[in-house]
């Protein structure tokens, strides 16, 4: 058992401080274990959101030494023995208390998305979906909604983009709907105008931070940008649509 140094943000959305704690770290511990031990032994009023402790609920998203991570999936043996570990809340969202943030902005973005819209005919019969079509959209359904990508995205985080951009998580959801063989809704206009696909400048931090290793940029955002180009910026495509009248 080794005593290790930790600093944890204590405060609200306006003001706070990094409070020093010492905690004994044993083999196999993750950062969430440390937070729980500090909560139990030294700071009973420390607020912390968590649920499954298995990297599947997306509740324990925090920043560890300035990098967005899941507390339950960050093992203590990743850090040097002498390294001080600084635990802070997600920078992009308002702090409710200590390291718990209010992520309700994300739910507002979700509401803007046109829901899954199969045709009446497809709904009535048993739609058979082949594995090759399943594979592409199933990839996106691994998302655990931890919002690390939303937090890491510099448009949301540093460029005040919450008004104009729905963020990588919802680009992923839009892609999963747009690429679904049964879905008949047209979201391309919304993707550009409501969800702000043009705000993303492909710096790929969302992909780097995703704990489920979803290829957010390559498989969701860029394909959506390309579909927007088909509709609005490609004169050849526009010409062919005028001639053949197809979307």
Asked if 179 is part of the footprint of another protein (rule: CB under 8 A), the reply reads yes
Asked if 58 is part of the footprint of another protein (rule: CB under 8 A), the reply reads no
Asked if 20 is part of the footprint of another protein (rule: CB under 8 A), the reply reads no
Query: x/- contact string, 82-121, with another protein (CB under 8 A)?
Result: -x--x-xx-x---x--------------------------
Q: Which of 66, 111, 124, 163 is close enough to bind another protein by CB under 8 A?
A: 66
Q: Which of 37, 114, 181, 185 is close enough to bind another protein by CB under 8 A?
A: 181
* Paired sense of beta strands 85-88 and 2-11, if any: parallel
Q: Which of 142, 203, 238, 239 is close enough to bind another protein by CB under 8 A?
A: 203
Q: Which of 25, 140, 168, 183 is close enough to bind another protein by CB under 8 A?
A: 183
CA distance linking residue 78 with residue 210, whole number of Å = 18
Q: Which of 163, 201, 243, 245 is close enough to bind another protein by CB under 8 A?
A: 201
Residue from 83, 103, 107 nearest 93 by CA: 103
Three-class SS state of 246: coil
Q: How far is the CB of 126 from another protein (least distance, A)?
A: 15
Sorted by sequence, the CB contacts under 8 Å of residue 170 that are 6+ apart come out as 106, 109, 110, 112, 113, 195
Q: How many residues bind another protein (CB under 8 A)?
A: 59
Other residues' Cβ atoms within 10 Å of the Cβ of residue 6: 21
Q: How far is the CB of 81 from another protein (least distance, A)?
A: 14
Phi/psi-derived region of residue 245, left when phi > 0, alpha when psi is between -120 and 50, beta in every other case: left
Residue from 37, 96, 28, 29 nearest 62 by CA: 96
CA distance linking residue 234 with residue 187, whole number of Å = 18
Query: Binding to another protein (CB under 8 A): which residues in 136-175?
Result: 152, 154-155, 157-161, 165
CA 220 to chain centroid: 13
CA distance linking residue 159 with residue 232, whole number of Å = 25
Which residues contribute to the site for another protein (CB under 8 A)? 9, 11-18, 63, 65-68, 83, 86, 88-89, 91, 95, 129-130, 132-133, 152, 154-155, 157-161, 165, 178-181, 183, 196, 198-205, 208-209, 217-218, 222-223, 226-227, 229-230, 233-234
């Amino acid at each position: 058992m080794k005593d290790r140094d930790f600093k944890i943000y204590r405060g609200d959305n306006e003001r706070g401080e990094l409070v020093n704690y010492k905690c004994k770290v044993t083999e196999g511990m993750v950062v969430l274990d440390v937070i729980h031990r500090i909560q139990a032994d030294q700071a009973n009023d420390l607020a912390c959101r968590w649920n499954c402790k298995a990297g599947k609920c997306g509740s324990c998203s925090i920043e560890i030494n300035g990098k967005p991570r899941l507390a339950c999936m960050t093992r203590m043996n990743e850090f040097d023995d002498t390294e001080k570990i600084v635990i802070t809340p997600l920078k992009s969202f308002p702090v409710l208390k200590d390291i718990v943030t209010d992520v309700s902005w994300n739910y507002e973005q979700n509401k803007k998305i046109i829901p899954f819209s199969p045709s009446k005919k497809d709904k009535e019969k048993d739609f058979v979906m082949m594995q090759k079509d399943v594979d592409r959209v199933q990839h996106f359904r691994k998302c655990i909604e931890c919002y690390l990508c939303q937090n890491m995205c510099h448009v949301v985080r540093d460029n005040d983009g919450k008004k104009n951009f729905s963020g990588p998580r919802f680009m992923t959801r839009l892609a999963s709907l747009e690429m679904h063989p049964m879905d008949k809704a047209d979201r391309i206009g919304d993707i550009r105008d409501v969800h702000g696909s043009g705000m993303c400048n492909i710096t790929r931090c969302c992909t780097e931070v995703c704990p489920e290793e979803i290829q957010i940029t390559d498989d969701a955002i860029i394909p959506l940008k390309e579909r927007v180009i088909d509709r609005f910026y490609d004169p050849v495509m526009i010409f062919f649509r005028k001639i053949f009248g197809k979307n």
